[in-house]
Amino acid sequence: MGAIIPLRIPDIEHQNSNWDRAVGKYGEAATAAAILLSQNQAMPPRLAWESAVRDIFPNSKSSRMKGCPRDAFLALCGNGDIRNVASGSYTRSIKNKGYVERALAAIRSDPNLALNQKALWLVVMNGTKKMENSQMDVLSALYLNGHIK
């Protein structure tokens, strides 16, 4: 997972506190992209993502091109899970789509999982050993910042 930066989480309907949470840079990118999409609903989600990662990773092409967090974000957009974003076909990634779908179902069942990305990943993988690649950072940041429907 990328470097951890503090992000001020605003009060949202499923969280009653206004604590600082550690969110990685891909979570920050997902939040920035969701804000761009809420301001310009005609903007394609992929373009919003590219704009956000360009700002967050100005000197790292490999970080801007990293597929798993991008596809997690685009899968959430495609499923219609992000506020102010129409559902559609924004990614072909089947695995990342499955990961965020299972993770979002788990968070909806237990919202505290959004605060623990490692525990969330363990739930998603259901015993399969595989390294998480910032997909949970994307989902957790969006959820905690009120961008998930």
User: What would the DSSP string read from start to end of 83-119?
Assistant: TT---------HHHHHHHHHHHHHHHH-GGGGG-HHH
Q: Which of 83, 85, 103, 87 is nearest to 147 (CA)?
A: 83
> What pLDDT band is residue 23 in, cutting at 50, 70 and 90?
confident
Helix axis angle, 135-144 to 94-109, nearest 10°: 40
Average pLDDT of the chain? 88
Out of 3-7, 42-46, 103-107, least confident range: 3-7
Give just the sign of the alpha carbon dihedral 62, 113, 9, 4.
negative
pTM flag (> 0.75): yes
